[in-house]
Amino acid sequence: MTYEKKNIGYMSFLVVLFLVSISQGWGDITQYPNENITVIDSTPDLGASYVVGNALDGNLATEYVTTNTVPGIDTFVTFDLGAVVPVGGFKFYNRNDLELVTEFGLLLYNDPNDPNEIIENVTVPAEAGSSAYVEFAPFDARYIKWYVTGYQGHPSGPFDVPGAAEFEVYVDGDVNLVNISPDSALLLSPQVWTPKQYKAWIYVTKQSAHQLQ
Ligand SMILES: [Ca+2]
């Protein structure tokens, strides 16, 4: 192969990559800080050692475990992200036990009556401590409902208490969200942001981060 042919091939590759990146709207997927996530509804927990907050503390050793008075298949958690953000990914970690979630779905929305996004049939390996990550086209949402659609009980007893070791929410964007405080006036604002407002916030945040360096 001549130098020219190699060069043309390389350039073609770059052009294709560029076109694909435009069509896909690629951006960096960043974990949304747990500090900005509030649980507004969930299946009741099994007790003080198993509260739902345990699944948002960044520690796989602490777990949210559901009450045994509700069937495991009915397990759900609804999160408030504090603002409308372009949600693009979600990760779930099973309990390190044999009460296992084997499949779940997600409902992303701003108002239950508004158009929403449904992500279904996310499979999770039927193993203690397993995890499943799903990435999807970014959808502007403030609320996420995670709900179990597949469940495998403990083989040696009818405990029926699934849950989660950890949840992680991912957003599309290259802004560093980690240092955004939950006490921020921006996030406490009762308004529901439009995508344009959110982009403006990203711009301001980037400028602030740059000035701090
Ligand atoms: Ca945890």
Q: Ligand 1 centre from 201 Cα, in Å?
A: 30
> What is the secondary structure of 10-74 as a DSSP string?
HHHHHHHHHHHHHHHT---EEEPPGGG-EEEEESPBSSGGG-GGGGGSS-TTS-EEB-TTS-GGG
Q: Ligand 1 centre from 98 Cα, in Å?
A: 17
Which pLDDT does position 187 carry in this prediction? 42
Q: Ligand 1 centre from 184 Cα, in Å?
A: 24
CATH label, 29-212, candidates 3.30.470.30, 2.60.120.260, 1.10.3720.10, 1.10.10.10:
2.60.120.260
Which pLDDT does position 141 carry in this prediction? 94
* Per-residue pLDDT at 58 exceeds 80: yes
User: How do the domains of the chain map onto residue ranges?
Assistant: 29-212
Q: Ligand 1 centre from 166 Cα, in Å?
A: 5
pTM of the entire predicted model: 0.71
Which pLDDT does position 104 carry in this prediction? 98
SS3 28: coil
* Per-residue pLDDT at 82 exceeds 60: yes
Q: Ligand 1 centre from 169 Cα, in Å?
A: 14
Q: Ligand 1 centre from 38 Cα, in Å?
A: 15
Q: Ligand 1 centre from 76 Cα, in Å?
A: 16
Token duo for residue 174 = 């290259």
Q: Ligand 1 centre from 196 Cα, in Å?
A: 34
